[in-house]
Amino acid sequence: MTNPVIPGFHPDPTICRVGPDYYLACSSFAYFPGVPIFHSRDLVNWAQIGNALERPSQLRLPVTGSFSGGVYAPTLRHHDGRFWLITTNVDDGGNLLFTATDPAGPWSDPIRVPGVTGIDPDLAWDDDGNCWCTYAGIWQVRIDPESGRTFGSPRRLWSGTPGALAPEGPHLYRIDDQWYLLIAEGGTERGHSVSIARGPSPQGPFEPCPANPILTHRSTDRPVQNTGHGDLVQAPDGSWWLVLLGVRPRGGTPGWHVLGRETFLAPVRWADGWPVIGELTSAVDAPAPPVRDDFDQEELHPRWLSLRGRSSEVCTAGERPGWLTLHARGASLDEPDVTFVGRRQQHLSCRARTLIDPADGTGGLCVLQDDRHHYEIEATGTEVRVTARVGSLRTTVAAQAVAPGPVVLRADVLANKGGGDARAEPDTLELGVEDEDGAFTVLASLDGRYLSTEVAGGFTGRVIGMYAATGTVRFDWLDYEPAD
């Protein structure tokens, strides 16, 4: 088994099984559409089948919001013939509940749950049909999932190891004759961990596992760090598994992770009525074929992301058949309303290329961490230029004249192979242009640490994509492939 099972910016995984089929959802923060949904038959090979929140009526994200605002950790469950998804939109009034008969969609418009006031909500049903919502803190209240109404006042449950930071991400399970409360604690950085308690009812009282935390990689040199925010699932053969988030830091001290928090899988065995988490088997890029989008269909593949929203007025594959047309709003990637379409970087080393026609505007190819941390190569029609934005600094790094007409822009991400320098960067980004024969002219080679969570802060990972800065720009294709 190769880990991560879903690489790239796919944090806070939640999972459920229906017969032989597994379904998994992740956080999406300020990106639209929100909450990607995946399917698998073996827990290892996953395919994205949609996004739960794909309509403006489901997902409202303010233009002024942070990249790390928006949609926080969801819980995905199947109950009484329907799929249920509850999540928090911190920019739109709190907790929202959605239902679907098919996890690929469509999902309902939101049911608001104003009586649940914390993040990371979970859903669990007892034998009497009561629905319990447990959330960060760790608090719990009974709800009516059809209306969002709550009953009584929230009550505090077991909140993890005494003194541990940020008890959050709870999931409640009925396993045999016990109820198990699984939580994350320690913060989502290097101290992240998973702990568990059990009790006779959904309301407890809860007895903590004597081996808590049952999973953590803190104070180790393991290649996967920040391990936590898990969700348990039982396979048809009776085996148990845990999906969880983790990161792959690279370079020197303190280590920089650039892909965001990714989804990993670990085996689980039971001893004395407690789960024992097995080892994460690897932390490498899985072999993967190139992925090319020619924009021949008007509807974009669910892998494509935009910032805070996407309308056909500014983004369409139907205006010029076979091309993606972007109409500029914000004048650069620094602007909160920039017109942008991208996909998650999913490999430590990779290559992205696109053919752009800038005849009617200015735009380009970018590697985006957030609005204050990004690198891009931009085409104006007569020139291409590489720009770097790092915090409050923005500079044009290189420029080169080009002949009028479409041009192939390229970004290579080259992972650091290691070495003894404590200050070594995690990777290097080379931005430039390709000629008709495929020869690559590198205009700038940039340090990747500045597009990392450790520098930028927040909860998101890198996204690579296309943008419009002025006028109208069109893209014939974009291909993405892992590199050695």
Residue 143 in any domain: the answer is yes
Is the distance from CB of 194 to CB of 231 less than 8 angstroms?
Answer: no
Q: Which of 251, 277, 303 is the last residue of a domain?
A: 277
User: Which residues are catalytically annotated?
Assistant: 12, 168
- Tokens 């970087």 found at: 345
The 10 Å CB-count burial string (b at 16+, else e) for 70-100 is bbbbbbbbeeeeebbbbbbbbbbebbbbbbb
Residue 5 in any domain: the answer is no
Q: What CATH number is given to the structural domain containing 38?
A: 2.115.10.20
Residue 3 in any domain: the answer is no
400: containing domain: 291-482
Residue 474's φ and ψ, nearest 5 degrees, are -130, 145
Please tell me the distance from the alpha carbon of residue 469 to that of residue 387, in angstroms, as a whole number. Answer: 13
Is the same domain home to 269 and 298?
A: no
From the CB of residue 311, how many other CB atoms can be counted at a distance below 10 Å?
13
Please give the C-alpha separations between residue 268 and each of 2, 184, 209, 274, 372, in angstroms, as whole numbers.
Answer: 17, 17, 15, 10, 40
- Check residue 150 and give its pLDDT: 98
Please tell me the distance from the alpha carbon of residue 156 to that of residue 142, in angstroms, as a whole number. Answer: 13
Residue 45 in any domain: the answer is yes
Is the same domain home to 107 and 163?
A: yes
Is the same domain home to 311 and 442?
A: yes
pLDDT tens string for the chain (484 positions)? 789 999 999 999 999 999 999 999 999 999 999 999 999 999 999 999 999 999 999 999 999 889 999 999 999 999 999 999 999 999 998 999 999 999 999 999 999 999 999 999 999 999 999 999 999 999 999 999 999 999 999 999 999 999 899 999 999 999 999 999 999 999 999 999 999 999 999 999 999 999 999 999 999 999 999 999 999 999 999 999 999 999 999 999 999 999 999 999 999 999 999 999 999 877 777 777 889 999 999 999 999 999 999 999 999 999 999 999 999 998 999 999 999 999 999 999 999 999 999 999 999 999 999 999 999 999 999 999 999 999 999 999 999 999 999 999 999 999 998 767 889 999 999 999 999 999 999 999 999 999 999 999 999 999 999 999 999 999 999 999 999 7
Is the same domain home to 272 and 298?
A: no
pLDDT in tens, 422-476: 899 999 999 999 999 999 999 999 999 999 999 999 999 999 999 999 999 999 9
Residue 265 in any domain: the answer is yes
Residue 1 in any domain: the answer is no
Is the same domain home to 145 and 201?
A: yes
Residue 7 in any domain: the answer is no
Residue 456's φ and ψ, nearest 5 degrees, are -80, -25
Is the same domain home to 229 and 325?
A: no
Q: How many helices (H) and strands (E) does the chain have?
A: 1, 35
Q: Which of 246, 277, 308 is the last residue of a domain?
A: 277
Is the same domain home to 334 and 267?
A: no
Is the same domain home to 339 and 254?
A: no
What is the tally of structural domains in the chain? 2
Residue 160 in any domain: the answer is yes
Is the same domain home to 237 and 329?
A: no
For residue 311 the two structure tokens come to 């309308």
Is the same domain home to 175 and 232?
A: yes
Q: Which of 252, 277, 302 is the last residue of a domain?
A: 277
Q: What CATH number is given to the structural domain containing 315?
A: 2.60.120.200
Residue 71's φ and ψ, nearest 5 degrees, are -95, 115
Is the same domain home to 273 and 402?
A: no
SS3 93: coil
Is the same domain home to 264 and 345?
A: no
Laid out side by side, the sheet with 14-18 consists of: 14-18, 21-25, 34-40, 47-53
